[in-house]
Amino acid sequence: MSDLLNLNFNDITGEMLKVISDYDTEKGFAGAYNIREDSQCAGRQNSANITITSKTDKPGIDITVKPFTKGETVFIPACVTHTAVDDLVYNDFYIGEGADVVIVAGCGVHNEGEEEARHNGIHRFFLEPNSSVLYKEKHIGTGDGAGLKKIDPVTECFLKENSRLEMDTIQLGGVDRSTRTTNAELGKNAKIIVRERIMTDNEEDAVTNFHVKLEGEDSGADLVSRSVARGNSHQAFYSVVEGDNRCTGHSACDAIIAENGKVDAQPALNAANVDAELIHEAAIGKIAGEQIMKLCSLGLTKEQAEEKIIEGFLK
């Protein structure tokens, strides 16, 4: 159980934490955590097997998970709650051999002012042999200010033999500009699975960049992005999967366009081994009319039917 006296954040952060990291206002976080608010630490707690320490050379933290740690969760949400904040943080995760943990790293940006507010989290994952990580990340922008709300995460992943990294990332809405960059290098029999879901509206712009190098024998990657572009928003999906050994790789972009939304999808494959099995696919279209008609026949309005279809698509 978390020590609630160790937390010191404002009400805006509290509300965003409920959305991006399922924060319980009565129980707090169960396990290790580090809460970042406007470039400062607003609360931290270690567990018996997970240690969080501040970097000494630049802003950020080191998260160290002991070998063979099982069933623990570490929370590292970050919130920007004011205009004219440009938050940059470097977080490194050292996952011990045989460990199996969950990492929750949501981000929220709130802007009521005229200047832009931005969070840029640079995360590096170092997975030792036979370790496993489920990485969960939700992004949201709130506030009615004219200033832009920007989130630009960078994720670098280094997976050793038999390790596994599963990334479940969601952009819920309200983020005016985002560029999400993920690079990964995989050793023998290592696996990376990415499930990305993005919602944009109005004049929002979101860019996704994936680059995965399958260097080890029998390594594998499965990258799937699902997105909805509404209003006048724009999204771009770029992925490169490189097969340098016997391996399997799959990259897919599945997008729905509504109103005047625009989506670019450019998946690419580079094979440098005769036993590299690589596949890419992309599908962009509108909501099928028969789906709307079916839901309307059950008593929903057209707008309600569209919302239900989009909700199911992004699950």
Q: Please, what's the largest Cα pairwise distance for the chain?
A: 62
Bridge partners of residue 151, in order along the sequence: 119, 178
**For the chain, which residues make up each domain, given as ranges?**
4-313
pLDDT in tens, 114-140: 999 999 999 999 999 999 999 999 999
pLDDT in tens, 251-309: 999 998 888 999 999 999 999 999 999 999 988 887 766 666 766 766 777 777 777 77
Say what percent of the chain tops pLDDT 90: 80
Contacts of 268 (CB under 8 A, 6+ apart): 238, 239, 240, 241, 280
Rounded Cα distance, 255 and 198, in Å: 9
Helix, strand, coil % in the chain, rounded to nearest 5 = 10, 55, 35
- Residue 34, pLDDT > 70, answer yes
pLDDT in tens, 191-211: 999 999 999 999 999 999 999
Q: Which residue has the higher pLDDT, 33 or 315?
A: 33
Mean pLDDT of the chain: 92
Q: What's the average model confidence in pLDDT over 63-91?
A: 97
- Residue 1, pLDDT > 50, answer no
Cα separation of the two ends of the chain: 30
Going by C-alpha positions, the residue among 155, 149, 177, 178 that lies closest to residue 168 is 155
Going by C-alpha positions, the residue among 245, 310, 254 that lies closest to residue 278 is 245
Eight-class DSSP state of 24:
B
**Amino acid in the structure at residue 234:** H
At 21 the pLDDT is 92
Q: What's the average model confidence in pLDDT over 21-34?
A: 87
Place of tokens 């190098």: 213
- Residue 4, pLDDT > 50, answer no
Q: Which stretch of 78-82, 147-151, 284-288, 290-294 has the lowest confidence by average pLDDT?
A: 290-294
Q: What's the average model confidence in pLDDT over 74-81?
A: 96
